[in-house]
Chain A
Amino acid sequence: MSLAFDRPILELKDVSFSYLRDKKIIDNISFSVGNGEFIGLLGANGSGKSTMLKLSSGILRPSTGEIKLWDKDVLSYPNKDRAKLLCYLPQLLDINVPFKVKELVGMGLYPYDIPPHITVDEALEAVGLSEKPDSYITNLSSGERRRVFIAMTLVQGAGILLLDEPFANLDIRYQIELLKLLKELKDKKGIAIIMALHDINIALKFEKVMLIKEGRILGTGSPDAILTREMLKDAFDVGIEVVRREYGEAYISYENNF
């Protein structure tokens, strides 16, 4: 017997998408996401990572195929109901409005009539910005800005987070802290997190990675199984290799071609 929590919470079936009729940006992909899954989407620029996230969030409508959120077409949900289940954080945080940090984080409560589980203060604490609730977003560094928006997604409290390059503009310390924070969310609250990445070193920390090329999935599985020399060559068209040390640490080695 299949229990409710064994079923995929997000499912893409034979999904294709194109802005123009002749060029497919997403080409017949299918995959599913279960509760608490932590998936990194990896691929070259223009491979379709962001488009996949936008399709999954219902911002874009697939040309063919269907996208199901909790067994129901993602486009059929009332907007507020969908926002309680799924949250999308875009890559570009181009905000030149002097909103205060707490105002922005509080926007995560907009889909709710009754405030849910996590408060603005708790979310700010979680991302290390508890000292700056009254700061203006326009005065923060790009890394701090990104953490403000992560706090907003925490307040929104959806079970699925779709994050487009959340590590962009973060220095290594905050990359590690954000990764830890997201893994905690996954472990403690069972939140499924799918994020587009460009850093293979970060992808190595994921339980599951999906390698994408020209809108198609080259492979999905553990980093060991997917991030092989051949697959990486196919996806990025450069010679790179994941080197593992004896005590488990791994890093990327480039071919000496520059």
Chain B
Amino acid sequence: MSKIKITVLMLVAIIIFLSALFIGPRIINPFRMGDMEKEILFSIRFPRVVVAILVGMALGASGAILQGVLRNPLADPYILGISSGASLSAAFALLSGIYSFGRFTIPLTAFLGASAVSVLVGVFGWRRGGLWPERLLLAGVGLSFLFHSVLMLLMSISTDEGLRRAVLWIFGDLSMADWSLIPYGLVFIVSGLIISVSRSKALNALILGDEFAHSLGFSIHKERFMLFISMALMTGASVSLGGTIGFIGLLIPHIMRFVAGADSRVLIPLSAIGGGAFLCLADLIGKSIMTPMEIPSGIITAIIGSPYFLYLLRRKDVLSI
């Protein structure tokens, strides 16, 4: 049964990817493309779809990892404050007008912010030779509040234009996507996926509890550390590519558990595929429904995601980690 569900999901994902390429403010017929259509397809839509897929994959997979590592169904990649740190550093660059690295400035500052916060959360979550889920969670929530407040302070004293750009970025704006950043994002996100999938048995065991994981032959602190690294790589790269896009990391792993079960060996790759497809769909909707205006993808994911999440909440058999 779950094989049929997985096949259907893959087909839906492919249809969404293709639709996102050919549908938009201008519909492109793949069999009759002029120079203009080719330019739109390869220079604008293709990189944008690839960025949406990468960001969605990173968030979906990171959510599945983090819900397991923290043994908390409400965990998402942003709960550890990584996105708040990235937002703060990116907003600082946007508002202060520092562009030392050209178009790389914002993604780079966001990635540096995300990395710095990952290290900071790791330091606070570290005790007696390992990372402890409760400490990580509390440290993340505490740091999130701090960074969020500083971000609000920055925004409250900034100019209107800077503020608008910062708000767009914070809500996940994929409109600036181009090929230049994709290789870097690809390296981090694929590395994170490979690490996490290779540790998926350990994640299953950690979900049962540290004592089970130990008894089944895993080094609990080493495995948790590796999973944390994989999640931090993917989250940092996704925030720097696409800003902070909510709900994918929280919602997609829950839906995928419903589709294919809780085994992390299947759940992590499926959450990645589901996340990629969902963000593509949200971006397609965001750029199509109010043309020429675009709605940031993060807003669309939340508007679609919240009611569906509440629907799932009523099905208590689904909403567990």
Contact = CB atoms under 8 A, between A and B. Distances in A.
Given A92-B209, A98-B257, 11 more contacts: A88-B215, A95-B208, A96-B73, A96-B320, A98-B317, A98-B318, A99-B204, A100-B262, A104-B208, A107-B201, A107-B216
Nearest to B214: A59
Contact of A89 (B210, B215, B263, B320): B215
Interface in B168-213: 201, 204-205, 207-212
Contact of A98 (B210, B211, B217, B261): B261
Interface stretch (A77-85, A169-177, A249-257): A77-85
A226 B318 CA distance: 50
B214 A97 contact: no
Interface residues of B, number: 24
A103 B263 contact: yes
B209 A94 contact: yes
Contact of A103 (B262, B317, B320): B262
11 contacts: A57-B214, A57-B215, A82-B217, A87-B215, A88-B211, A90-B209, A92-B209, A97-B321, A107-B208, A138-B317, A156-B215
A144 B284 CA distance: 47
B321 to A, nearest CB: 5
B122 to A, nearest CB: 22
Given A80-B217, A110-B217, A90 B212 contact: yes
A123 to B, nearest CB: 15
A110 B214 CA distance: 11
Nearest to B219: A79
A156 B321 contact: no
A236 interface: no
A88 B207 contact: no
Contact of B205 (A89, A94, A107): A107
B218 interface: yes
Interface in A123-152: 136, 138-139
Interface of B: 73, 201, 204-205, 207-212, 214-219, 257, 261-263, 317-318, 320-321
Interface residues of A, number: 32
Contacts of A83: 215-217
Contacts of A62: none
A111 B209 CA distance: 16
B261 A100 contact: yes
A111 B216 contact: yes
Contacts of A103: 204, 261-263
Contacts of A107: 201, 204-205, 208, 216
Interface of A: 54, 57-59, 79-84, 87-90, 92, 94-100, 103-104, 107-108, 110-111, 136, 138-139, 156
Contacts of A94: 209
A102 B317 CA distance: 18
A57 B220 CA distance: 14
A103 B263 CA distance: 7
A96 B74 CA distance: 13
Given A90-B212, A96-B321, A138-B320, A111 B217 contact: yes
A9 to B, nearest CB: 17
Contacts of B73: 96
A84 B320 contact: no
Given A97-B262, A97-B320, A136-B317, A84 B211 contact: no
B211 A90 contact: yes
Contacts of A136: 317
Nearest to A87: B215
The 6 closest A-B pairs by CB, nearest first: A83-B217, A111-B217, A80-B217, A90-B211, A88-B215, A79-B217
Contact of A110 (B209, B211, B216, B257): B216
Nearest to A153: B215
A111 B263 CA distance: 17
Contacts of A96: 73, 320-321
B321 A58 contact: no
Contacts of A79: 214, 217-219
